[in-house]
């Protein structure tokens, strides 16, 4: 369910980017970047230049959603509820877009004493594809890979890896996400 939703004003200017991440069982983080149009003296200029006006994070309780359409409806509702005070027009008139370009997220899984694995999550939300790899720090024979759809969170995918019948990634381990690669 990780995704980035870009919202465009009716004029075509980028209004905001909402990046949803589900790194915990009981809450989700939404990184919000809001944009402001660059004012020009030339009234005939139709350029769509914007600058970053503000950046902040919000949290919400994750809800199980059954389809991509339900997730998109949730995003519209969330944006309308959270961004409505900052804008003087209805967000219902805005265009919501999801990039078809795949995103790579890398996680470092470790215990206090050693590195356990590197895990790559390569996904495209709008194409409903996700490929997750577990690269063991112990031995290549423990490397694993699985596929999922966009409805499953990255952490639930990571929890499906097992070694000798036990979860390879469990609650006692530290899981650090490195920056996204687009």
**pLDDT by residue for the chain (182 residues), tens digit each?**
899 999 998 888 899 999 999 877 778 899 999 998 887 655 555 557 888 888 999 998 888 888 999 999 999 999 988 886 665 567 778 899 998 899 999 999 999 999 999 999 999 999 999 999 999 999 999 999 999 998 899 989 999 999 999 999 988 889 998 888 87
In this structure, how many other beta carbons lie within 10 angstroms of the beta carbon of residue 168? Answer: 20
State the maximum Cα–Cα separation within the chain, in Å, rounded to a whole number: 68
User: From edge to edge, which strands make up the β-sheet containing 103-110?
Assistant: 144-148, 129-136, 115-124, 103-110, 174-177
Which pLDDT score, from 0 to 100, does residue 43 have? 54
Query: Are 74 and 7 found together in one domain?
Result: yes
Which pLDDT score, from 0 to 100, does residue 96 have? 94
Which pLDDT score, from 0 to 100, does residue 12 have? 85
How many angstroms separate the first and last alpha carbons of the chain?
17
Q: What is the pTM of this model?
A: 0.84
Residue range of the domain that includes 74: 3-98
Which pLDDT score, from 0 to 100, does residue 46 have? 54
Q: Does some domain include residue 182?
A: no
Query: Are 91 and 145 found together in one domain?
Result: no
List, in sequence order, the alpha helices (H) in the chain.
68-83, 154-158
Domain ends where: 63, 98, 133?
98
Query: Are 173 and 136 found together in one domain?
Result: yes
């Amino acid at each position: 369910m990780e995704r980035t939703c870009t919202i465009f004003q009716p004029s075509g200017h980028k209004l905001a980017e909402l990046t949803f991440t589900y790194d915990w069982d009981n809450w989700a983080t939404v990184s919000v970047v809001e944009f402001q149009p660059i004012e020009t003296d030339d009234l005939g200029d139709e350029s769509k230049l914007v600058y970053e006006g503000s950046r902040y994070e919000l949290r919400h309780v994750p809800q199980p959603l059954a389809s991509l359409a339900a997730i998109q409806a949730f995003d519209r509702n969330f944006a309308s509820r959270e961004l409505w005070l900052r804008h003087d027009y209805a967000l219902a008139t805005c265009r919501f877009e999801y990039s078809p370009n795949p995103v790579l997220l890398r996680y470092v899984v470790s215990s206090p004493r050693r590195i356990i694995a590197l895990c790559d999550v390569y996904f495209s939300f709008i194409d409903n594809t996700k490929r997750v790899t577990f690269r063991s720090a112990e031995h290549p024979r423990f490397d694993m890979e699985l596929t999922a759809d966009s409805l499953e969170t990255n952490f639930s995918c990571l929890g499906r890896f097992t070694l000798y019948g036990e979860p390879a990634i469990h609650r006692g381990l530290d899981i650090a996400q490195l920056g996204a690669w687009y």
